Amino acid sequence: MRVHLVAAAALLALRPAAAPAQPDAAGLLGRSARVYRSLGALRAEFTQVIDDPMVGRLDSRGVLVQSGASKLSMKFSDPKGDEIVIDGRHVWVYTPSTAPGQVIRLPVPSGPVYGYNLLAWFLDKPSERYTATYVREERSGTRTLDVLALLPAVPDLPFRRATIALDRDDGLPRRIEIEELSGARRTLTLTKLQPNAGVSASQFTFAVPRGVRIVDQS
């Protein structure tokens, strides 16, 4: 009997260890969405890289402030003076670095504003819009990030695929990478996040500079 027990124990020892369970991508994304919805405001520094096969690489940086899905301010330090503001009624796109003398004004759509308010686009009802898959764990300084791949689950999303890196501690996104339908790749990286930072209403007001023409695209 003892011989059989020893043999059985030896066989169990030779059996490969079970692989660790894969983290629940949908659960991680859902948690991040809940954290995002609970925020009164969010302030962060950002860097953005756009790799476009038609125009090459575009790098920018600045400060992002957001309040809910309908208010956003992106003030660029590079290119200095560029600004994107969503005031709840309109989207203002002011880029004197590439289009001096004008500001584009668009109506705010009923859903999140893709291309500008990426956080709202990816974290507003994500389970209805995306299929999420766990990709890997990353380290960023002292932080651990969970990287998820997102594929559109509905036909009207203007990108092929995306990845989002979520902070394991607070659930907030630190990086979003998008492959757009045009073939361009956009990477938005957030640092120095300040959840529920104090913001004023003027943060989401665009003051049209003197001599600048409004191009209304209503």
Quote the pLDDT of residue 51: 93
* pLDDT class of 7 with cuts at 50, 70, 90: very low
Quote the pLDDT of residue 5: 46
Q: For the beta carbon of residue 92, count every other beta carbon within 10 angstroms.
A: 21
Quote the pLDDT of residue 110: 64
Q: Is 50 exceeded by the pLDDT of residue 218?
A: yes
pLDDT in tens, 102-148: 999 998 876 554 557 788 888 888 888 889 999 999 998 899 999 99
In a domain, 13, yes or no: no
- Is 30 or 7 the better-scoring residue by pLDDT? 30
Candidates 35, 83, 49; CA nearest to 63 is 83
Domain that holds residue 140: 23-209
Mean pLDDT, the chain, rounded, equals 87
pTM: 0.83
In a domain, 55, yes or no: yes
- Read off the pLDDT of each residue in 97-102 and give the average, rounded to a whole number: 95
Q: For the beta carbon of residue 4, count every other beta carbon within 10 angstroms.
A: 8
Tell me the percentage of the chain whose pLDDT exceeds 90.
58
> How many domains does the chain contain in total?
1
Order of strands across the sheet with 213-216?
130-140, 143-152, 159-167, 173-180, 185-195, 42-52, 56-67, 71-78, 80-87, 90-94, 102-107, 213-216
CATH of the domain at 145: 2.50.20.10
Quote the pLDDT of residue 23: 85
Q: Is 90 exceeded by the pLDDT of residue 76?
A: yes
In a domain, 18, yes or no: no
In a domain, 84, yes or no: yes
Q: Is 60 exceeded by the pLDDT of residue 11?
A: no
Q: Is 70 exceeded by the pLDDT of residue 183?
A: yes
Q: Is 90 exceeded by the pLDDT of residue 55?
A: no
In a domain, 8, yes or no: no
In a domain, 122, yes or no: yes
